[in-house]
Amino acid sequence: MASVTDTKDTHGRLIAADQVEGTSIYNPAGESLGSVEDVMIDKVSGRIAYAVVGFGGFLGIGNRHYPLPWEKLKYDTSMGGYVVDIDRRMLEGAPSYADTDTVGWDDPAWGRRVNDYYGMPPY
Q: Does residue 82 fall inside a structural domain?
A: yes
Range of the domain at 92: 17-97+104-115
pLDDT tens per residue, range 74-84:
999 999 999 99
Q: Does residue 89 fall inside a structural domain?
A: yes
pLDDT tens per residue, range 45-93:
989 999 999 986 655 566 789 999 999 999 999 999 999 999 989 998 9
Q: Does residue 56 fall inside a structural domain?
A: yes
User: What residue spans of 1-123 are helical by DSSP H?
Assistant: 17-20, 88-92, 108-117
Q: Does residue 120 fall inside a structural domain?
A: no
Q: Does residue 51 fall inside a structural domain?
A: yes
Q: How many domains does the chain have?
A: 1
**Size of the chain, expressed as the number of residues it contains:** 123
Q: Using a pLDDT cut of 70, give the percent of the chain over it.
A: 85
Which residues lie below 8 Å from residue 99, measured CB to CB, with a gap of 6+?
63, 65
The CATH number assigned to the domain holding 109 equals 2.30.30.240
Q: Does residue 66 fall inside a structural domain?
A: yes
Q: Does residue 1 fall inside a structural domain?
A: no
